[in-house]
């Protein structure tokens, strides 16, 4: 059974998002070993400068890198990443498993994104869409897509 971790900056504020996240974590429990690691994002002023954003991303990046395990494949969630269909994501996860990875770690940065260091450590950069979504929704969307990917691999009827 594959180990899947999601490292994310920040906590889900809304109860309905926490409930949705918990539901997908529960469902995934039958298909993989899943865990979510929440890290504290850096505080920024209301109108941060580019230098303040860069410094915050670098601090967050060090936090993230310290939590990544040595033999994990890392998938950075970033806007400039590659977009995949659900079937292609399923194939990507299968390739990680057959390639001998101990697990896969998805990384969701803060609302300002991810540091270059984290993106450089990633084995794959993934984008959900060219559209903009609420940052809090990203975790739920990712969990659903991971669940869908494992369901595809298992041949279940969830993915139609």
DSSP characters over the chain: --EEEEEEES---SHHHHHHHHHHHHHHTTTSEEEEEEEPPPP--SS--HHHHHHHHHHHHHHHHHHS-TTEEEEEEEEEEEE--HHHHHHHHHHHHHTT-SEEEEEE-BTTB--HHHHHH-SEEEES-SS---HHHHHHHHHHHHHHHHHHHHT-SS--
Instruction: Please determine, for residue 144, whether its predicted confidence score (pLDDT) is greater than 70.
Output: yes
- What digits encode the pLDDT tens for the residues 72-126? 999 999 999 999 999 999 999 999 989 988 899 999 999 899 999 999 999 999 9
pLDDT (average), residues 28-44: 96
Q: How many domains does the chain have?
A: 1
159 within a domain of the structure (yes/no): no
20 within a domain of the structure (yes/no): yes
Residue-level pLDDT at 134 = 87
pTM over 0.85: yes
- What digits encode the pLDDT tens for the residues 37-74? 999 999 999 999 999 999 999 999 999 999 999 889 99
Residue-level pLDDT at 93 = 96
160 within a domain of the structure (yes/no): no
63 within a domain of the structure (yes/no): yes
131 within a domain of the structure (yes/no): yes
Which neighbouring-strand residues pair with 8? 38, 108
What is d(CA 127, CA 113) in angstroms, rounded to the nearest whole number?
A: 12
Structural domain for 132, as ranges: 3-154
Q: Which of 36-40, 128-132, 141-145 has the lowest mean pLDDT?
A: 128-132
CATH code (residue 91): 3.40.1280.10
Residue-level pLDDT at 54 = 96
What is d(CA 116, CA 109) in angstroms, rounded to the nearest whole number?
A: 11
77 within a domain of the structure (yes/no): yes
Residue-level pLDDT at 1 = 87
Residue-level pLDDT at 160 = 66
């Amino acid at each position: 059974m594959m180990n899947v971790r999601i490292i994310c900056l920040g906590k889900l504020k809304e109860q309905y998002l926490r409930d949705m996240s918990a539901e997908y974590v529960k469902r995934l429990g039958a298909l993989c070993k899943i865990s979510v690691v929440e890290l504290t994002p850096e505080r920024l002023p209301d109108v941060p400068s580019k230098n303040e954003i860069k410094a915050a991303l670098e601090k967050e990046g060090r936090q993230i890198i310290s939590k990544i395990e040595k033999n994990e494949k890392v998938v950075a969630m970033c806007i400039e990443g590659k977009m995949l269909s659900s079937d292609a994501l399923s194939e990507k996860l299968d390739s990680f498993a057959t390639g001998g990875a101990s697990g896969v770690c998805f990384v969701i940065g803060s609302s300002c994104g991810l540091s270059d260091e984290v993106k450089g450590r990633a084995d794959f950069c993934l984008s959900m869409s060219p559209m903009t979504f609420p940052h809090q929704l990203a975790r739920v969307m990712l969990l659903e897509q991971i669940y869908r990917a494992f369901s595809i691999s298992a041949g279940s009827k969830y993915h139609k």
